[in-house]
């Protein structure tokens, strides 16, 4: 096991990464109240719920399992109410610890439930997908979706700890593994050029689920994100760079209907669009844009958006994204491999040109698989 710490003063917390951590009650015990409400989904529960329940019981907690439907389309008010109702029915008081067992959807949903239940209770992130382990479990962003936009209702609510058992990646569906690599690539492109070069050489190992390679990308991604979160917890400045590829990506997810494209696929296409926009804005070289596109393609992710979405629809959706300000769309762009910046002065016609050039003609079948 390897550990690091997110430095947030009295809200600092550890991130533990390694195999077999689901079976380590000593990692959980310091962060648990008398009751642990384990929020998970119908896909993860048959594989890991009983195992984690046993570990939490050995750590001294009463366990209340809450199993919800699987999918981004269920990250909504109805499912949130299901979680809160189950906790109330089990008479969970303010000493309860909410445990998020699953991927990014579960982490966001359970974290938001913890943020609002009886005005805020403790929670633990126990991510079981690559995307959650490298990105969404770290940083305290919690949310549910709204029909008008992704993650539009939420709160900043930091976990007490992140316990990432990389052994769970062995049961991850191929599509989810590739989706997680999108966030890995993102961290490199915006923060660490040397990491990008390593990914270019080792993408095959990651797709083959080489355990040391996967552990390395989980740990490095957590290190990079933890540094950004510690410097800018509530996204007032630096942390915005973590949204690279997400302005376009969130528009894809919302425009296509939640669940049609999984988050990592949308971010993959979004990063290619953002790289192309960076090139056309005169910020990066053609070789930098090519490297970004090639790395996304090497991970088996789409390099173009859906043909069904028009440029007008993209711009409409991006204008109501959380990252928009004063009606201006804020884009996270590259100024080099490993360095990013925010721009809100990109002409709409240039954005349209990029969208039209990355329209995804003939790629829609990828997402039906």
Q: Which of 233, 235, 253, 265 is catalytic?
A: 235
Active site residue: 145, 243, 253, 330, which one? 243
Token representation of residue 243: 């949204």
* Annotated catalytic residue 250: yes
The active-site residue out of 239, 291, 293, 330 is 239
Would you call 312 exposed, middle or buried from its count of C-beta atoms within 10 A (0-12, 13-18, 19+)? exposed
By three-state DSSP, how is residue 197 classified?
helix
Query: Cα(20)–Cα(211) distance, rounded to whole angstroms?
Result: 12
Residue 358's pLDDT is 92
Concerning whether 239 is annotated as a catalytic residue, the answer is yes
Q: Tens of pLDDT along 4-32?
A: 999 999 999 999 999 999 999 999 999 99
| Residue 224 in domain | yes
- ∠ Cα 76 79 85 (to 5°): 135
**Whether residue 69 is found in the same domain as residue 158:** yes
Q: Is 246 a catalytic residue?
A: yes
* Residue 235 annotated among the catalytic residues of the structure: yes
327 and 284 in one domain? yes
User: Tokens standing for 35?
Assistant: 């009751």
pLDDT at 362: 37
pLDDT at 143 over 70: yes
Q: Kindly state whether residue 177 falls inside one of the protein's structural domains.
A: no
Per-residue pLDDT, averaged over 356-363, amounts to: 68
Domain-located, residue 176: no
Q: Which of 193, 355, 328 is nearest to 274 (CA)?
A: 355
Active-site residue, from 31, 43, 75, 141: 141
Q: What is the CATH number of the domain that holds 32?
A: 3.40.50.1970
Catalytic one among 150, 157, 250, 330? 250
- Please tell me whether residues 138 and 220 are part of one structural domain: no
Question: Minimal CA–CA distance to 122: which of 132, 110, 131, 133?
Answer: 110
Confidence of residue 360 (pLDDT cuts 50, 70, 90): low
- The answer to whether residues 235 and 362 belong to one domain is yes
Give CA–CA dist 301/296, Å, rounded: 6
pLDDT in tens, 107-134: 999 999 999 999 999 999 999 999 999 9
**In whole angstroms, what is the distance from residue 90 CA to residue 65 CA?**
10
Express as a percent the part of the chain with pLDDT over 90.
89
Pairing, β 149-156 against β 141-146: antiparallel
Cα distances (angstroms) measured from residue 293 to each of 47, 185, 269: 35, 11, 9
Q: Say how many C-beta atoms besides its own lie within 10 A of residue 298's C-beta.
A: 16
Q: Are residues 160 and 206 in the same domain?
A: no
Residue 145 bears catalytic tag:
no
Q: Coil, strand or helix: which one is 35?
A: strand
Q: Are 344 and 328 in contact (CB under 8 A)?
A: yes
- pLDDT confidence of residue 131: 95
Do 71 and 39 share a structural domain? yes
User: Residue 367: pLDDT band by 50, 70, 90 thresholds?
Assistant: very low
Domain match, 112 and 193 both: no
Instruction: Indicate which residue of 91, 119, 148, 361 is catalytic.
Output: 119
The active-site residue out of 216, 263, 293, 330 is 263
Is 183 a known active-site residue? Answer: yes
The DSSP bridge pattern shows strands 13-18 and 161-165 to be parallel
Query: Are 138 and 222 members of one domain?
Result: no
Q: What is the pLDDT of residues 175-195, one digit of tens each?
A: 999 999 999 999 999 999 999
Q: Is residue 179 part of a domain?
A: no
Cα dist from 173 to 43, 160, 326, whole Å: 11, 28, 40
So what's the pLDDT on residue 314? 95
Crossing angle (nearest 10°) for helices 104-116 and 77-89: 60
Q: Is residue 87 domain-resident?
A: yes
Q: What is the CATH number of the domain that holds 219?
A: 1.20.1090.10
Is residue 181 assigned to a domain? no
Is 159 found in the same domain as 111? yes
Catalytic residue among 183, 233, 253, 276: 183
Whether residues 97 and 193 fall in one domain: no
Long-range contacts of 316-325 (CB under 8 A, 24+ apart): 317/149, 317/250, 317/251, 317/254, 317/255, 318/247, 318/248, 318/250, 318/251, 320/148, 320/149, 321/149, 321/150, 321/247, 321/250, 321/251, 322/149, 322/151, 322/152, 323/240, 323/243, 323/246, 323/247
Residues 208 and 323 in one domain: yes
Helix (H), strand (E) at residue 65:
strand 62-68
From the list 225, 291, 293, 330, the catalytic residue is 225
- Answer yes or no: do 213 and 124 share one domain: no
Domain that holds residue 290: 186-368
pTM: 0.91
Of the two residues 258 and 144, the one the predictor is more confident about is 144
Percent share of the chain, pLDDT over 70: 95
CA 53/CA 327 separation, integer angstroms: 47
Quick one: tokens of 258?
């939640």
- Using the predicted structure, report yes or no on whether residue 366 has a pLDDT greater than 70: no
| Number of independent structural domains in the chain | 2
Residue 26 catalytic?
no
Please provide the size of the chain in residues: 369
Residue 202 appears among annotated catalytic residues: no
Q: At residue 325, does pLDDT exceed 90?
A: no
- Say how far apart CA 5 and CA 27 lie, in whole Å: 14
């Amino acid at each position: 096991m390897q550990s690091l710490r997110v430095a947030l003063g009295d809200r600092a917390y550890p991130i533990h990464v390694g195999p077999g951590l689901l079976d380590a009650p000593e990692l959980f015990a310091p962060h648990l109240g008398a009751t642990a409400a384990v929020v998970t989904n119908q896909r993860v529960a048959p594989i890991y719920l009983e195992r984690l329940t046993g570990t939490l019981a050995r750590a001294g907690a009463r366990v209340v399992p809450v199993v919800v439907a699987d999918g981004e389309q269920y990250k909504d008010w109805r499912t949130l109410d299901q979680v809160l109702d189950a906790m109330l029915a089990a008479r969970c008081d303010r000493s309860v610890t909410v445990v998020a067992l699953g991927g990014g959807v579960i982490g966001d949903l359970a974290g938001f439930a913890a943020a609002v239940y009886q005005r805020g209770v403790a929670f633990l992130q126990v991510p079981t997908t690559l995307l959650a382990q490298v990105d969404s479990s770290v940083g305290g962003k919690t949310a549910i979706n709204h029909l008008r936009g992704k993650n539009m209702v939420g709160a900043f609510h930091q976990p007490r700890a992140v316990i990432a058992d990389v052994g769970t990646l062995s049961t991850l569906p191929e599509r989810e593994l590739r989706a997680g690599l999108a966030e890995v690539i993102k961290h490199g492109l915006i923060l660490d050029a040397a990491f990008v070069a390593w990914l270019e050489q080792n993408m095959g190992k990651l797709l083959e689920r080489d355990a040391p390679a996967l552990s390395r990308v989980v740990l490095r991604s957590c290190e990079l994100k933890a540094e950004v979160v510690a410097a800018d917890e509530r996204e007032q400045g630096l942390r915005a760079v973590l949204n690279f590829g997400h302005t376009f990506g969130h528009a894809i997810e919302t425009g296509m209907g939640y669940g049609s494209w999984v988050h990592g696929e949308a971010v993959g296409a979004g990063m290619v669009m953002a790289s192309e926009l960076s090139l056309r804005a005169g910020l990066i070289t053609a070789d930098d844009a090519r490297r970004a596109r090639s790395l996304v393609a090497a991970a088996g992710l789409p390099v173009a958006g859906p043909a069904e979405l028009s440029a007008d629809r993209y711009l409409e959706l991006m204008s109501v994204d959380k990252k928009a300000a004063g009606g201006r769309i804020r884009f996270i762009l590259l100024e080099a491999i490993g360095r990013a910046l925010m721009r809100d002065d990109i002409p709409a016609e240039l954005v349209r040109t990029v969208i039209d050039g990355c329209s995804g003609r003939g790629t829609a079948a990828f997402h039906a698989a």
